[in-house]
Chain A
């Protein structure tokens, strides 16, 4: 069981996937000899060469659009968009084509591509390099949106994403790339897309989160247990679309109190969807209004002020106390 960080775990998954399946190709800006600006494609070009590790021209729509063609032709392209802040160039191809081919050809043509992109703040990056806009893709029917929260699930979920017959947006919380290490099994593993996980069993309160925010939730939960003696149940969504509402609802039925935490803007964010699902399925189990702890409805500020935007353990703890004391 080697202990590796998330950047290495994603790299490992790419390596394994390319090794076992010759139809997997990696493409994007600087993914070749430079091995990606975050070094996620380290070693791939050396091992698999120009044909399968493709340094593309600088054109996000070109990357995703041509990946759609490759996917239709029988390959499994894994596209890297250098920062999620630039994947809007590719949105048209995702919305009008990747997400629709299966439906409009009545199941005859599918698009098994993965679009990977580092997303989120917390690394003091420059403008347009810190956004959390997963909700845009979650709001796009036909796409799946996967967001890992640690090395082990990152590797397993990337394998599942590559094996999935439909287009998957795989958003990598870049603040976690090198934040911590975790043991991963020698043998490659997958995790089902569309399934959330209970990462901490608890009572009295359910905290639903994903990505980098999950770390802040764990930190807040520790403080809550230490200072208030409450051990909350924590759910990691892992896939934000399709959302695993069942697990969330089950948990809420036990705890009666719930909050959702994410970094992206509040309005029409994933929190809104989680709240709606709970209201539809478990309204009468609720002991308190559901709290959303999220980024504000502004662009994430430049890095000098980003820490005031990104939900941290303090903000989560305060919100938890509000929900608990209602």
Chain B
């Protein structure tokens, strides 16, 4: 066995819609008008919800949360392909996809306002809620995909993680499991180039996350993560392979978190405003709007009226959620005991009674501290 180079698959990158909204005609996917509009709608709904939540957080009406602004193209361009029986397994910046899959603005507000009810999947949806412990959801995605193989069901799993998450052992294990069992999983990496303050160059020494696919024996591709069409095409191809029994794919969407990591973070400590502004110009929604107008799918007036509808929807959802947080059902502290086990063990019931007696006796009232008491922090 002489010394010679080992042939490895090549890793491609893909960009279809440039930052000015110009489309590469040769690569442009055929997408019907309704789908194109739907993608814009949920990208906008996510963006505006995110912006509204930021205002609310600053007013003490929402807890600390990680903003999803700038990540809408990766989320929406991939989630759009999912059918009802498929599974959407997010990390925590996939608000566009979550809303598209049937999670509500109310649930988003509840979750980030400290109410467990925000993590309860809506009826008729299989998906898992947002996952805070980094990369851990990827193994669940692998397992669900393995389950689909075992049960001979021709569905797929779409799961998401960040560039920081790619360093966790769970990420490696999930990619390897999915590859070994040829599980129908599409791993979508939102590479926004920062894990809180740690830039990509300190996270890894390889040039792309996509190239790791080679090591696991699966196809990998890097796409412009701010280009919803590129994401659409790459995930469509990955789903086709998964459904054909050809296993998982790793898709890296290169994007940028032009917001802080969470509302508690100050990015001025670790990156220049100049860098941030440069990337903010490449954000996904403006270029997609230009594309839709140039293509004659929507007029500016259509978009304006979509924006107005979305604003009204968000306003209504905020009011509804703030009322809901004060309701007897959601503010009842005793609910902390009710879902831990299918059958409540006796000692836990005793603790529940203990808290109940304490609440009846005490002056502190039995209301949760949702937005009402948030002012002090």
Chain A contact residues, CB within 8 Å of chain B = 29-30, 32-35, 37, 55, 57-62, 85-86, 89, 123-129, 266-267, 296-299, 301-309, 314-315, 318
Contacts of B202 in A (CB 8 A): 55, 57
Contact check, A298 vs B340: say whether CB atoms are below 8 A apart.
yes
Known: A30-B197, A124-B63, A308-B333. A296 touches B374 (CB 8 A): no
Contact check, B333 vs A301: say whether CB atoms are below 8 A apart.
yes
| Residue in B133, B347, B368, B374 whose CB lies within 8 Å of A86 | B133
Contacts of A29 in B (CB 8 A): 195-196, 198
Contact check, B195 vs A124: say whether CB atoms are below 8 A apart.
no
**Alpha-carbon distance A30/B116, docked complex (angstroms):** 29
Smallest Cβ-Cβ distance to A294: which chain B residue: B351
Contact check, B197 vs A123: say whether CB atoms are below 8 A apart.
no
**Alpha-carbon distance A60/B362, docked complex (angstroms):** 41
| Residue in A123, A304, A315 whose CB lies within 8 Å of B368 | A304
**Alpha-carbon distance A62/B358, docked complex (angstroms):** 44
Contacts of A129 in B (CB 8 A): 132
**Alpha-carbon distance A201/B149, docked complex (angstroms):** 66
Interface size class on chain B is 35 or more
Smallest Cβ-Cβ distance to A61: which chain B residue: B169
Segment with Cβ contacts to A, from B177-185, B263-271, B314-322: B263-271
Within B170-215, the residues touching A (CB, 8 Å) are: 170, 195-198, 202-204
Contact check, A34 vs B164: say whether CB atoms are below 8 A apart.
no
Contact check, B196 vs A37: say whether CB atoms are below 8 A apart.
yes
**Alpha-carbon distance A127/B111, docked complex (angstroms):** 9
**Alpha-carbon distance A60/B196, docked complex (angstroms):** 15
A-B contact pairs, 20 of them (CB 8 A): A34-B198, A34-B269, A35-B269, A37-B264, A57-B203, A59-B168, A59-B169, A61-B168, A124-B114, A124-B369, A124-B374, A125-B64, A128-B133, A297-B348, A297-B351, A298-B340, A302-B114, A303-B114, A304-B370, A307-B369
B361 on the A face (CB < 8 A): yes
**Alpha-carbon distance A315/B197, docked complex (angstroms):** 40
**Alpha-carbon distance A30/B202, docked complex (angstroms):** 11
Contact check, B336 vs A296: say whether CB atoms are below 8 A apart.
yes
**Alpha-carbon distance A172/B164, docked complex (angstroms):** 25
B25 on the A face (CB < 8 A): no
**Alpha-carbon distance A304/B270, docked complex (angstroms):** 32
Chain B contact residues, CB within 8 Å of chain A = 63-65, 111-116, 119, 132-134, 164-165, 167-170, 195-198, 202-204, 264-265, 269-270, 325, 331, 333, 335-337, 340, 347-348, 351, 355, 358-359, 361-364, 368-370, 374, 377
**Alpha-carbon distance A130/B119, docked complex (angstroms):** 17
Q: Looking at the assembled complex, report how far the CB atom of B323 sits from the nearest CB atom of chain A, in whole angstroms.
A: 15
Q: Looking at the assembled complex, report how far the CB atom of B57 sits from the nearest CB atom of chain A, in whole angstroms.
A: 11
**Alpha-carbon distance A309/B358, docked complex (angstroms):** 11
| Residue in B65, B333, B358 whose CB lies within 8 Å of A305 | B333
| Residue in A33, A127, A296, A304 whose CB lies within 8 Å of B355 | A296
Contacts of B203 in A (CB 8 A): 57-58
| Residue in A57, A61, A266 whose CB lies within 8 Å of B351 | A266
| Residue in A30, A304, A306 whose CB lies within 8 Å of B331 | A304
**Alpha-carbon distance A195/B348, docked complex (angstroms):** 33
Contact check, B361 vs A318: say whether CB atoms are below 8 A apart.
yes
Contact check, A34 vs B197: say whether CB atoms are below 8 A apart.
yes
Known: A124-B377, A266-B351. A304 touches B115 (CB 8 A): yes
Contact check, A33 vs B337: say whether CB atoms are below 8 A apart.
no
Contact check, B168 vs A308: say whether CB atoms are below 8 A apart.
no
Smallest Cβ-Cβ distance to B171: which chain A residue: A59
Contact check, B358 vs A298: say whether CB atoms are below 8 A apart.
no
**Alpha-carbon distance A33/B337, docked complex (angstroms):** 42
**Alpha-carbon distance A126/B64, docked complex (angstroms):** 7
Contact check, A55 vs B197: say whether CB atoms are below 8 A apart.
yes
**Alpha-carbon distance A79/B347, docked complex (angstroms):** 37
**Alpha-carbon distance A61/B134, docked complex (angstroms):** 12
Contact check, B64 vs A298: say whether CB atoms are below 8 A apart.
no
Contact check, B116 vs A302: say whether CB atoms are below 8 A apart.
yes
Contact check, B134 vs A86: say whether CB atoms are below 8 A apart.
yes
**Alpha-carbon distance A34/B262, docked complex (angstroms):** 14
Contact check, A30 vs B198: say whether CB atoms are below 8 A apart.
yes
Contact check, B132 vs A127: say whether CB atoms are below 8 A apart.
yes
Contacts of B116 in A (CB 8 A): 301-302
Among B197, B331, B337, B347, max chain A CB count under 10 A is at B197
**Alpha-carbon distance A39/B325, docked complex (angstroms):** 33
Smallest Cβ-Cβ distance to A92: which chain B residue: B169
Known: A126-B65, A301-B336. A58 touches B195 (CB 8 A): yes
Contact check, B164 vs A123: say whether CB atoms are below 8 A apart.
no
**Alpha-carbon distance A301/B115, docked complex (angstroms):** 8
Contact check, B63 vs A303: say whether CB atoms are below 8 A apart.
yes
Smallest Cβ-Cβ distance to B262: which chain A residue: A126
Shortest 10 CB-CB contacts between residues of A and residues of B: A34-B197, A304-B114, A303-B114, A57-B167, A58-B164, A308-B333, A304-B368, A302-B114, A301-B336, A59-B167
